[in-house]
Structure 1
């Protein structure tokens, strides 16, 4: 009997991220548990990375590719700011990521990536990407191991899907933060790959990035 051996370079290392854009803010969250094959590798790892212009990069999947994407992006941002003599905007940063990912389309980054921040008008924006760089601007985004649990809750709470009152629901920054904390508290009861703590970042034009850490279950 012939047994074929294949080579697979990737390992999914869990992590769950959420981003919600408001009229003048963005709220971003990530749990701090990093796992591999149901083994906990870290209890303090966040999947949110601050970029040079106060944009926030959310990336889950294979940690090696996440860190490579972040490092390459840092270098390109410095080149952009040196060339244009101004900070890069969040929409321009999203376009840069799209081009980078398309350049790797034959051996793509094994990541689920979202970039968030404020646009030139101070309004919150969220951009999601597929593995080959196709970009979509969204009201909210969720990625990672607990995405099948969390995304339907976001659909119901933000767009009113599958409820008696469909339509976009406007929320204040404080209400959005509370909603996200409650969602993580509920999801960690159903997903063993989500836990330890949720780090919530709130980005506004006036105060910049504010960070809050909320504990989750440790088992």
Structure 2
């Protein structure tokens, strides 16, 4: 099943419970049919949009400005035209995720104490744990 198809399936699942919603604010990521990365962000009742990156939860208001600063080009009017999101290598992406979560954990009491990063690539699955704070 393609990532856009899973995005629609999740939207349908959330919308099915519109009168008694799950109140889960999801982010779904993967690859589309062209092999490009995609991220879908949702509200509680299943409305979604495709974005280059996203964050949800209590720390999202702290994470999104950092992600915007690091990933988004300053203006869509730049010439020559470029993608809206800066391409990152796998190690750069993992380091950025660690930095963003560490920053949010220092300022948001509801962000957890430990981060689990799961990287899925052509060589398999790699799981990495990162301690955010020790207080």
TM-score (norm 2): 0.82
Is the contact made by 2:114 and 2:130 (CA closer than 8 Å) also made in structure 1? yes
User: Match of 1:183?
Assistant: 100
Matches within 5 A, 1:7-86: none
Give the unaligned 5+ runs of structure 2.
79-83
Rounded Cα–Cα distance in structure 2 between residues aligned with 1:186 and 1:214: 13
| Residue 195 of structure 1: how far off its partner (Å) | 3.5
Q: Please state if 1:209 is matched with 2:125.
A: yes
Work out the number of aligned pairs and report it: 128
Larger radius of gyration: 1
| Residue 150 of structure 1: how far off its partner (Å) | 0.8
- What's the CA shift string for 1:154-173, capped at 9, x where partnerless? 111110459xx9x6422211
| Residue 118 of structure 1: how far off its partner (Å) | 2.0
Q: Please state if 1:124 is matched with 2:40.
A: no
- What's the CA shift string for 1:69-123, capped at 9, x where partnerless? xxxxxxxxxxxxxxxxxxx222211111111222221222111012112223332
Q: Which moved more, 1:167-176 or 1:134-143?
A: 167-176
Distance 1:168 1:99, change over 3 A: closer
Matches within 5 A, 1:126-145: 126-145=39-58
Give the unaligned 5+ runs of structure 1.
1-87
User: Match of 2:134?
Assistant: 218
User: Match of 1:42?
Assistant: none
User: Match of 2:109?
Assistant: 192
- SS where residue 107 of structure 2 aligns? coil
Matches within 5 A, 1:79-158: 88-158=1-71
- SS where residue 18 of structure 2 aligns? coil
Q: Which 4+ residue blocks in structure 1 deviate beyond 4 angstroms?
A: none
Rounded Cα–Cα distance in structure 2 between residues aligned with 1:190 and 1:119: 34
TM-score (norm 1): 0.53
- SS where residue 198 of structure 1 aligns? strand
Structural RMSD (CA): 2.1
